[in-house]
Structure 1
Amino acid sequence: MDRTERIIALDRLLRAARRPVPVTRLQEELGCSRATVYRDIAYLRDALMAPVVGDGEAGFQYDKDEAERFELPGLWLTSEELQALLAMQQLLARSSGDMLTSALAPLQQRVEKLLETHARGKRWPLERIRVIAHRLRRMDEHVFRIVASAVLDRRRLTFDYRARSTGETTRRSVSPQRLTHYRDNWYLDAWDEDREGLRSFSVDRIGNPRLLDEAAHDIDDATLDAHLASSYGIFSGAPKGWATIRFSAKAARWVADERWHSQQQGRFLADGRYELKLPYSVPRELLMDILQYGADAEIVEPRALREQLRAHLQLALSNYQDDTP
C-alpha cells in the first residue's frame, strides 16, 4: 500500500472510529511500521489540516465536531477504486454503442492520469475489459443528452415519437421521471401531459426534442414503482396476472440463477425441473423470453397465455412447411 492509499485508509478509519484507534491496529490496517503511522498521522494533521486528536498511548481519532466539516482535498481513490471506476466507464461507454464516448472522455483521461500516478509508469491494459452489447439500438447522442438533461433538471420536454408497433409519429409533451437502462437500451419513463398517464418511451425512437421552461410534474417514487416496476419487463403497467413457467432439468441450471423480475418466485421440482412464477402486464416480452428456451420451457398457466404461445409456435412452424411435391 503506497502513501496515497494509506492516507485514504487512515482517513476512513479515523472517521469511522467511535473511540481512539490504537497505533498497533493502525499498523495492522495500513500494513506499515509504527514510524510510518506517525509520519502519516503528522501529514494528515499538519499538511491536510485534518482534525486528528490523541496520542501514541491512547490512540488517535477525529474530533467529532470538526470531522463533519473536513474532507480530503481533491479526488482521493485507491488503485482498486480507480480501476473499478475505469471499468464502469468502459461499461457505460461501450454498452451505449460509443454514444457517450465523447461525453465520458474527460473523465476517462482524468482517471487514467490518476492511475498512472499510482502505477508508477505501468500501463493498464484496458483492452482486457470487454463489453459486448446485445441487440443495441442506434441512438442519437444529441437526443440522449437533451432527454437526460430534462430528467436531471426536472424540466418538461416535448418531442416527436415514432411508435415501433404502428410506425405512427406523434408529438408528445411530457414530464420526465426517470431514465432507465434496460437490456442494453435506454428508455424515458415520463408523465404524458396530454394522455394524463405514465408512459415509457424508447429513447432511440425520440426525435426533435425540446426542453421547456416549465418545471416537470413530479410523481412520487411509490407510484412510479407500482406502475413501471411491478409487471414484467419494460412493457410496464399494473400486472394483469401471474405466469407459471416450468423449465426442463437441463434449462433449470441456468434459469434458477437468472433474475427475470423483482417479485419472481422460483422452486425446484422433485424431478429436477424448475418452476418460475412472475407477474406480467403485456405478454409480448415474456413470450419472447420463453420462446428462446424452446422445448425446455412450458407455460403452465394462465391458460390464455399458454394458448397465445401455442399460436406463436404454430405460426412459426408454418414458415417451415415443405412445399416441394
Structure 2
Amino acid sequence: MQRKPAPRADVVFASMDRFDRTYRLYTLFSSGREARSAASLQADLGCSRATLMRAIAELRELFGTPLVWDAHSRGYRLDGVAPRVQLPGLWFSADELQALLLAQNLLSGLGDGLMPEQIDALRGRLMTLLARGGVAPQRAAEALRILPLGGRSCDPLIFRRVVATTLAGRRMDIRYLARSSGQISTRQISPQRLVRYRDNWYLDAWCHWRGALRSFAIDAIEAAQATDDPAQDIPQTELDAYFGAAYGIFAGPAAQRAVLRFAASRARWVAAERWHPAQFGRWLDDGRYELVLPFGDPRELILDILRYGPQVEVLEPAGLRAEVAARLRAAAALYAADGVS
C-alpha cells in the first residue's frame, strides 16, 4: 500500500494562518457593532484585500455570520437585526494550536498508566482541534517526543484518589512506605499540591502525625482513603519557603552552602543549567566554572555531584567534600581487582 505523502510545511502553516485569520476577523466584529472599513481590517489582519474578501466569505457562508456592507459608513458590520452566532466548538489561534500540539505530547508522557480513560479522552479532543487547524493527526503525534527517564510506577487508583482528595480540599488517611528504611507507617495528611519532579509524582502535604510539612512520593503510598474532614490549609508562601529553600526534593531549611568547581570540559553545560533558584555561578580565568548553591539534606546533591566524576570538585563544606570523596573511594574499590587504585 502506497503511503500518503506528508503535507508540505508551507501548506500546513498556510492552513493554520487561514484558520487564525478567520478567527481574528470574527473577534474584530464581535467586539463591537461599528462598521469597519476594508482598509482598517486589512491593517489589523496584515493581509491583502483578496485575502480579506475570502475570510469575510468564509464567515458568511460557512458559519452564517451576519456580516453586511453598510453603504453609509462605507464598511462592514454585524447585522443588528439578525441573531448573533458563535463559531462552532472551541476555536484557537495558530499559536494556541501549536501550544496544544505541545500539550498533547506532554500528556502522552505525564500520564503514562495514570487516569488512562480521562487522558485518552482529552488527547482525542486535542487531536480534533489540531486537525481543524490543518495539522495532520499522525504528524501531531510524531513531531514532538517526550522521553521520560527514571520514572516509577504509581497505582492508578491511588493516584486518582490523591488527585481527587487534593482538589476537594479533604484530609486523607494513607499507608506509606519509607524506602530509605523499609518501614511502613499509617498517618493522616492534609494534601496541599501535587509536584512532578524528575519524572515522578510527589505530594506536598501537612502530616498530622508529625505535625509538620512533608513531601510524599505517590508511588510509595500503598493505600489512600479520603476523609470527611477539611484539609488544613497552608499558605502558598509557606509551602514555597519550606519546599523551595533546600536542594532538590528534600525540603526544609537550607542551612549549608555548597561550592562546586567544574572542569573546563563541562563548564559550558553546567553554566547553562539551573540546579537551584538561589544558585550563583562564576567563570574562572582558566575556563573552569564555579557553582554555589544552598542545600539542607545532602543526599540528592551528592548523587548529582557523583554524575560528573573527576570533572567536578567539592570545595565546601568540608563534610560534603568528605562524603563525596568516601563515595568515590568506595566505588573505586569495586574495581580494585582490575588494577584500579
TM range (shorter): 0.7 to 0.9
Q: Which amino acid aligns with 2:309?
A: G
Question: CA 1:217 to 1:295, structure 2 compared with 1: closer, same or farther past 3 Å?
Answer: same
Shift of 1:44: 12
Task: Give the C-alpha shift of residue 13 in structure 1.
Answer: 6.1
Determine the C-alpha separation between the residues in 1 that align with 2:35 and 2:286.
58
| CA 167–32 in structure 1, closer or farther in 2 if over 3 Å, else same | farther
Any stretches of 5+ residues in structure 2 without a counterpart?
1-13, 79-84
Measure the CA separation in 2 of the matches of 1:280 and 1:71. Answer: 54
Deviation at 1:120, TM superposition (A): 8.5
Q: One-letter code of the match for 2:179?
A: R
| TM-score normalized with structure 2 length | 0.79
Structure 2 counterpart of 1:187? 202
Deviation at 1:74, TM superposition (A): 3.4
Structure 1 residue ranges without an equivalent (≥5): 62-69
Equivalent residues of 1:96, 1:136 under 8 A apart: no
Is 1:6 paired with 2:24?
Answer: no
Q: Quote the residue 1:236 is aligned against.
A: 251
Contact 1:227 1:237 in 2 (8 A): yes
% identical aligned pairs:
38
Structure 2 equivalent of residue 222 of structure 1: 237
Is the Cα–Cα contact under 8 Å of residues 94 and 131 in structure 1 kept in the other structure?
Answer: yes
Hey, what does 1:267 align to over in structure 2? 282
Query: How much has 1:83 moved relative to structure 2?
Result: 4.2
What are the equivalent positions in structure 2 for 1:1-325 lying under 5 Å apart? 4-10=19-25, 23-24=38-39, 26-28=41-43, 29-33=45-49, 34-36=52-54, 47=65, 74-119=89-134, 123-322=138-337
Residues 230/122 of structure 1: CA separation in 2 closer, same or farther (3 Å cut): closer
- Whether contact under 8 Å (2:170, 2:229) holds in the other structure is yes
Aligned to 2:9: none
Matched AA of 2:301: L
Is contact 1:95–1:132 with CA below 8 Å preserved after alignment?
Answer: no
Q: Is the 8 A contact 2:259 2:315 kept in 1?
A: yes
Q: Shift of the alpha carbon at 1:47?
A: 3.5
1:85 match: secondary structure: helix
Contact 2:250 2:296 in 1 (8 A): yes
Task: List per-residue Cα deviations over 1:205-246 (Å, max 9, x = no partner).
Answer: 002110111111110011101100111100111111111111
Instruction: Give the Å deviation of 1:267.
Output: 1.4
C-alpha spacing 1:15/1:224, structure 2 compared with 1 (3 Å): farther
CA contact (8 A) 2:127 2:137 kept: no
Displacement of 1:14 in angstroms is 7.4
C-alpha separation in 1, matches of 2:116 and 2:66? 35
- Change in Cα spacing, 1:252 to 1:16, as seen in structure 2 (3 Å) is farther
Could you say what secondary structure the match of 1:47 adopts? coil
Residues 140, 48 of structure 1: alpha-carbon distance in 2 compared, 3 angstrom cutoff: farther
Query: Aligned pairs, how many?
Result: 310
Deviation at 1:116, TM superposition (A): 2.8
User: Contact 2:161–2:224 (CA<8 Å) still a contact in 1?
Assistant: yes
Alignment CA distance shift 1:323-1:87 (3 Å): closer
Give 1:292 shift: 0.3
- CA gap of 1:252–1:12, structure 2 versus 1, over 3 A, is farther
Asked whether the equivalents of residues 23 and 60 of structure 1 are also in contact (C-alpha less than 8 Å), the reply is: no
| RMSD of equivalent CA atoms | 3.3
Gap change, CA 1:171 and 1:81, over 3 Å in 2: same
Q: Which residue of structure 2 lines up, in the alignment, with residue 64 of structure 1?
A: none
The C-alpha deviation readout for 1:82-118, integer Å capped at 9, x for no partner, is: 3432432322332443434432111111222233333
State how far apart, in whole Å, the 2-side matches of 1:20 and 1:248 are: 66
Distance in 1, matches of 2:226 and 2:47, equals: 53
**Farther-moved stretch of structure 1 (175-184 vs 6-15):** 6-15
One-letter code aligned to 2:178: A
Letter paired with 1:312: R
